[in-house]
Amino acid sequence: MSLFLDNAATSFPKPEAVYRAMDAAMREVGVAPGRGGYRQSLAAARIVYEARAALAAFFGVSDSSRLVFTHSATESINIAVSGLLKAGDHVVSTTVEHNALLRPLQLMRERGVEVTLVQGDREGKVSERQIAAALRPNTRLVALAHCSNVTGAIQPVEEIARIARAGGALMLVDAAQSAGYLPIDCETMGIDLLAAPGHKGLFGPPGTGILAIAEGLRLDPLLVGGTGGNASSPHQPEQLPERFESGTTNTPALAGLKAGLDFILEKGLAAIRAKERGLIAQLLEGLRFIPGVVLYGPLAGEHGGAVSFNVEGRDPSELAFALDHNFDISVRAGLHCAPHVHRTIGTYPGGTVRVSPGFFNNEDDIGFFLKAMRELR
């Protein structure tokens, strides 16, 4: 099998228990939760409830009904942004965001919402002072990614959340690159809206995501329809999680996501992060000494799970193609759905090569990748 170093896109492979849990849910339960009163449907509801309760506890959400399931971080961000903002509101975000946030913000702009993008520095970082300076009396939301999928820069979300709250704004965190790697506690960190994928650091299957919504916050749903209860009402229910979960739930996927979270709890978040940090340090150290390699993002201190680089005079796509075809190594090249990041770090329009190891990689894998790079450059 090829050497997969694109875990920032989705984690692969998954822990064995994830495959087993999905298989069992598909074969043994295999029906919609909450749609029937018969035991098989109740068993499905139990799977969904247990996944929700476990994720809520993991992310510091004391009322688990306020953690809703979506199919991706993108959907979660869309619900948060379009469910909250109205014409005349102001939002503060940054130039180092993924399109999953930038495009919903652009849509809001077209609907009369004002958007300020705070400029990231060459490492892809922003400071709480910059956010504070951008706040206005009508700022309703501060929205940003915890960790960049291009540079690996980690933002000071706790400090920014404090600034947002002091300025009367809500805080939305896109945890696509941090959920399952960095500790996140919504209530103690002051995060009002947390959007995360299930399929990256949480080891769940593709097509899973979560949105945690703070107590007292009422959002409009993106999708309305059947929720299993309140069937006689023509209106979407007010209560959570039903308000945001119309349509048949993907129970096997949520069984897999719960198993992914159990794997994290069993290994320990700190141990997972320590392993990631070791592999990232090995990557940065190795790439730094390859002539012609230019590294982006923070070169010292905290670093997320993605490393971006270029080789002078070489096209990133051509390098990624050669890594795949000559060495069977999967990495990603280009803009990584985050064009403004590249404008910010000076790699637009070509982008970068991005390497993102995962929990199931080891030092030999990184060694093999570095050897391939030395041959290719």
The binder of ligand PLP chosen from 176, 191, 202, 284 (CB under 6 A): 176
104 token code pair: 């919903």
**CA–CA separation, 26 and 224 (whole Å):** 26
Determine the size of the site formed for ligand PLP (CB under 6 A): 13
Q: Mask: binding to ligand PLP, 127-166, rule CB under 6 A, as x and -?
A: ------------------x---x-----------------
Residue closer to ligand PLP, measured from CB, 243 or 332:
332
Among 83, 124, 201, 209, binds ligand PLP (CB under 6 A): 209
Site for ligand PLP contains 260 (CB under 6 A): no
Among 7, 41, 64, 74, which residue sits at the site for ligand PLP (rule: CB under 6 A)? 74
Sign of CA dihedral 5, 7, 13, 17: positive
Q: In terms of CB distance, is 179 or 311 closer to ligand PLP?
A: 179
- Minimum distance from CB of 131 to ligand PLP (Å)? 18
Residue 177 within binding range of ligand PLP, rule CB under 6 A: yes
Say whether residue 174 binds ligand PLP (CB under 6 A): yes
Question: Nearer Cβ to ligand PLP, position 41 or 95?
Answer: 95
How far is residue 310's CA from residue 354's CA, in Å, rounded to a whole number?
9
Pick the piece of the chain touching ligand PLP (CB under 6 A) from 67-75, 131-139, 224-232, 258-266.
Answer: 67-75
What angle in degrees, to the nearest 10, is found between the helix axes of 16-24 and 251-267?
Answer: 150
Is residue 258 within 8 Å of 210, Cβ to Cβ?
no
- Footprint of ligand PLP on 81-110 (CB under 6 A): 98, 100
Contact of 47 with 29, CB cutoff 8 Å: yes
Residue in this structure with the two tokens 């600034």, named with its chain if needed? 163
Query: What torsion, rounded to 10 degrees, do the Cα atoms 82, 84, 90, 96 define?
Result: -60
- Confirm if 239 and 47 have CB atoms less than 8 A apart: no
DSSP class of residue 70 equals: E
Element (H, E) at 145: strand 139-145
Site for ligand PLP in 266-325 (CB under 6 A): none
Residue ranges in contact with ligand PLP by CB under 6 A = 9, 72-74, 98, 100, 145, 149, 174, 176-177, 197, 209
